[in-house]
A and B are shown apart, each in its own frame.
Chain A
Amino acid sequence: MQMSLIMWIVVITYLVISVAAGALMAKKDEARSLNGYLNSGNSLPPLLLAFSLSATALSGLLFMGGATQMYAIGWKQFALQYCIGGATSMVLAVWLLGKPMHYIAQKRDSVTIVDLFVDIYNDKRLSYIAVPTIIIGSTVFAAVQWQCLGNLFTMFGVDYKIGVVMGVVVVALYTNFGGNSSQAIVGTIQTFIAMAACLFICWRSANVVGGFTAMNAQLGAIDPGLLTLTSASWPVTMVITRILGAGCGSFGQPYLVIKYFQIKDAKMYPRVMVLGLVSYFFIILVVTAGLPILILTNNGTIPPLANMDLLIPTFITELVNPMPGIGAVMGGIIVAAALCTIMSTASSLMLSAAGSIVNDVSIKWRKKQYTDEQAVKNSKIAIWFITLISALIALFPTGGIFMVGYAAASLYGVVFAPSLIGGLRWRRATKHGAFWSMLISLILDLTLYILNATGIKRFTLPFDMNGMCFTISIIIFVVVSLATKPQEKLMLPPSRAELIAQKTKTA
């Protein structure tokens, strides 16, 4: 696979703009305190928050891995993972978490999701589960992003490992410069580029095989199960648990959830929902690239893929590059869009993990006293540390982008989502429910994943593994909460009954 000079120019221009935007934001005052560096001083407008949420949510997992799942299971991937699981949970997450998290962050000066757990439940034990989860999940998920970058750079004729190192350096540089503000601004620009590129990919996917109806007819001829939500290998239990597994990530991924701290005014959240959804629906169109590749490899027009993770690079070189006139430019824009989604997620992961190391481990656990300047400096050191570890993992990849990325992203949802939503929205939730749900689901999810990935014991139940763990996590949380003594919730607004009682007392 080789790229033309025009594609090189488009991609390099994009990388330079990303680093320059980060450098410019470094001059802003808010990048000089820890909360400003990690959370933009809780002052982001709705557009920046919504698009930076989209840019972060739509990672290399979607851009490089989603199409491989479309290739494998057809339209059910688009419907279950993205339209039902992803989009619905995105709306619910903004609706359920946005407002309470914003106020708690203002009241308690919360910096990380770990602060939030400790504040909601008034129990420091939760941080001993949450911090390792964040560090393990962020490091593995960052490694998946670097793996995507390495695969993408093979199109330039660049060796996979050199590609990983190039991508890592650019992301670490612009994240280090300006922290969250630079990530939000660059993420917004990136989202606009990604939206245009994904719309083009969807059009080209249908166009190259004779339109949507003709494409679906050809898919149906290969396997009718590619068009339906269920099939012989996809029973209803698998469908339901895949929706839960795909959806739970929106509620628990710390680098996403932490963004709810960052809005300027909590009443702007409905706008965030609409803007986030619009950008999301454009960007998920990228996965349709898997369908024409499936048809064309099946009829022998394109040689079979040696590595499924190279599906998007193959789409660009085989189906976009040869287009007369616009092929090279569009190819360059798609590569830039892929870099957008990968880098914005990697950048947010770095910030989230660094925040946990400095704020939770050094300041809260080890009781270190830092000035704002020292805290930001230590965060930057932590970013380089996490980057180095995750880059080492990416240099020796052990699995496909989708399966490893999906497992890492869902780990957060499985462990954090029930306790987070319950803590903010259910008055009967208790710290014991949160503790046992987080602890058991972390052990269960990691054990099942390791057994499955190493081949010691393959997961053969008719469920999506992450969705099943999420369901178990919810059950433990609810049962233990109901079985333990009710806990006073100081971090929730008064109920209607409490307001009436207050009014009567005042009168």
Chain B
Amino acid sequence: MFGLPWSTTFFVIFWPLILLVGTLIYMLSGTYEGKKEEEEFNLDDWYKTF
């Protein structure tokens, strides 16, 4: 694309897009680290237990 070899195109254009879409989906999903533990063990905040 734009006269660049495919490997350069991937890392210059598609890799940033993959990162951006991936983090956007993570943000919109509303999940966060420790959510599973909090639900399963009935904790207010998993991190605050240490």
Contacts and interface: CB of A to CB of B under 8 A. Distances in A.
A492 B20 CA distance: 29
Interface string B38-49: 001100001111
Contact of B49 (A78, A216, A229, A494): A494
Contacts, number: 94
Contacts of B49: 493-494
Given A216-B4, A228-B7, A496 B16 contact: no
B19 A229 contact: no
Contacts of B15: 79, 83-84, 87-88
B20 A277 contact: yes
A103 B3 CA distance: 48
Interface in A342-363: none
B23 A212 contact: no
Contact of A281 (B3, B16, B41, B50): B16
A75 B8 contact: yes
Interface residues of B, number: 28
B20 A491 contact: no
Contacts of B20: 274, 277-278, 281
A485 interface: no
Contacts of B3: 212-217, 220, 227
A79 B27 contact: no
For the residues of B in contact with A, the DSSP-based class is helix
B50 A493 contact: yes
Contact of B23 (A84, A229, A270): A270
A225 B24 CA distance: 34
Interface in A482-498: 490-494, 496
A87 to B, nearest CB: 6
B47 A103 contact: yes
Contacts of B5: 227-228
A496 B33 CA distance: 13
The number of chain A residues touching the other chain, given as a range, is 35 or more
Contacts of B23: 91, 270, 273-274, 277
A227 B46 contact: no
Contact of A271 (B27, B33, B46, B47): B27
A274 B2 contact: no
Contacts of A227: 3-5, 8
A496 B47 CA distance: 12
Nearest to B15: A83
Nearest to A490: B50
B8 A99 contact: no
A267 interface: yes
Interface in B1-17: 2-5, 7-8, 11-12, 15-16
23 contacts: A75-B12, A212-B2, A213-B2, A215-B3, A216-B2, A217-B3, A229-B7, A229-B8, A229-B11, A266-B32, A270-B23, A271-B27, A274-B20, A274-B24, A277-B19, A278-B20, A281-B16, A281-B20, A491-B50, A493-B34, A493-B49, A496-B37, A499-B41
CB-CB nearest 3 A-B residue pairs: A216-B3, A270-B27, A79-B11
Interface of B: 2-5, 7-8, 11-12, 15-16, 19-20, 22-24, 26-27, 32-34, 37, 40-41, 46-50
Given A83-B16, A229-B8, A229-B11, 16 more contacts: A75-B4, A78-B12, A84-B15, A99-B47, A217-B3, A220-B3, A227-B3, A228-B5, A266-B32, A267-B32, A273-B27, A274-B24, A492-B50, A494-B49, A499-B41, A502-B41
